[in-house]
Structure 1
Amino acid sequence: MGMKDAEPGTVRPGGRTARVRAAVLQAAGDSLAEGGFARLDLADIARRAEVGKTTVYRRWGTVTGLVADLLLDMAEQSLPRTETGSLLGDLKANARLVQRTLADSRQGALFKAVIAAATCEPKTAEALHRFYDIRVREWAPCVEQAVDRGELPADTDPHEVIRAVSAPLYYRLLTSGNALDEPAADRAAEAAAAAARAGVYVRREEAD
């Protein structure tokens, strides 16, 4: 399939095209962090990236197409899961990774901007959902291994446990001015681990 036949932002080429993509995504992330979704402009991003405006319009088409590709790249570039041999150790590693990302001045601002845009931009919402789906699936084996070790009840939903780790950190980011520090990350991991051990995330049959 040629580039012109592909959905904008879905091509995975190498060489010069990969360098162009990296420069444009870097510029898009900087712009998002600085001014939010509403101020994103493809021509401005092309200028920042020192790339021809026509290239940016032809490749990504729209701001939402560019943001979707940025989120895909961020998901792919995120660090792989850590395996410590215990559920709590693994969940703390996950929580600290999320905490470091959200506490970073650029990354935290970028996520706030994308989350805000996703509330009224369906394509951005889809891209954000894909981002979190990729990251949750990356870390779900930590929970599956804990079930296999007998640390957690059978039928524990791994995805729900991983989401439970991040949820308090995003809530803190979006609803308070409190520092998003390592103790907050550890508490989130401890709470999710305790709830998982108590069977809170065991899959249950839906009531008729």
Structure 2
Amino acid sequence: MSSAAPLGRGPKVRAAVLAATVEELSEHGYGAFTVDNVAQRAGVHKTTVYRRWPDRDALIADALADSVAAEISIPDTGSIEDDLRALARSLVAWINSPSGQAVLTVMVSKAAGLPSPPDSIRHVFRDRIRRALPVVPRAIARGELPSGTDPAELVKTLVAPIYFRVVITGERVTDGTADAAAALAVTAARAGLFG
């Protein structure tokens, strides 16, 4: 970043620091992540970072939440098949992005024997699932899914095959992966498996 124009304290600083956080995570992972490196990348002093975020984990959690919220939209197409397909495709696109790769690096750090991220970082995923839940009651109201379908179970079933391929088997995920996950989830929901 150029030193010609200082960022100040407003939204530009927040955006620069959050972007630098995602970049730092994607390049160095959770174990080697430092606030000093983020501050340097963002072109701010580390005290500027600590003014907004009390520690590295709060900073990471905020950056990841911001990334997930910005890149994974919650659809309302009027069709459960289309909503689930759009949601799954959005997830796949995010996973394949630099910020998605950074998040996955953090989430699998414990499995790799590195320092484990705190639960506040895992909250990012729980929050995204919670935000996606309204697609299910809307589908129930339209008569597309059985009454009593558990929204959380349906959404977890949608995302599970995608994360399994990325985290466990190390496969690349595509729109085809997303479409298959959506078809599986809607078929199971219509069969009453989430009641």
Short-chain TM bin: 0.7 to 0.9
1:21 Cα offset (Å): 1.2
Of 182, 187, 190 in structure 2, the residue corresponding to residue 189 of structure 1 is: 182
In 2: Cα distance, 1:118 partner to 1:57 partner: 25
* 1:170 paired residue number: 163
Matched, 1:86 2:79: yes
Measured against aligned partners, the alpha-carbon deviations of 1:46-70 in whole angstroms (never above 9, x if no partner) come to 1110001221233323211211111
3-state secondary structure, aligned to 1:96: helix
Aligned to 1:206: none
Deviations 1:60-87 (A, max 9, x none): 2321121111123224424532222221
d(CA) in 2 for partners of 1:78, 1:28: 16
Aligned partners of 1:171 and 1:28: how far apart in 2?
25
| Displacement after TM superposition at 1:148 (Å) | 1.1
Asked if structure 2 preserves the Cα contact closer than 8 Å seen for 1:75 and 1:134, the reply is no
Q: Which runs of 5+ in 2 are unaligned?
A: 1-7
Residue 120 of structure 2 corresponds to 126
Of 29, 47, 52, the residue aligned with 1:54 is 47
1:179 matched to which residue of 2? Answer: 172
Q: TM-score, normalised by structure 2?
A: 0.86
Shift of the alpha carbon at 1:122? 5.7
Matched pairs, number: 185
Check the 8 A contact 1:118/1:128 in 2, yes or no.
no
RMSD of Structure 2 on Structure 1 (CA): 1.9
Other-structure match for 2:4? none
Structure 2 counterpart of 1:113: 105
Deviation of 1:155 (Å) = 0.8
State, as a whole percentage, how many aligned pairs show the same letter.
38
Preserved CA contact (<8 Å) 1:46 1:52 = yes
Give 1:191 deviation, angstroms: 0.3
Q: What are the ranges of 5 or more consecutive residues in structure 1 without an aligned counterpart?
A: 1-14, 203-208
Say if 2:63 is the partner of 1:63.
no
TM-score, normalised on structure 1? 0.81
| Cα drift, residue 143 of structure 1 | 1.0
Do the aligned residues in 2 keep the contact of 1:152 with 1:197 (CA within 8 Å)?
A: yes
Residue aligned with 2:166, SS: helix
AA of the residue aligned to 2:175: E
**Which one-letter code corresponds to 2:94 in the other structure?**
T
CA distance in 1: counterparts of 2:17 and 2:38, whole angstroms = 7
More helix by share: 1
Counterpart mapping for 1:30-49 below 5 A: 30-49=23-42
Residue 140 (structure 1) aligns with: 133
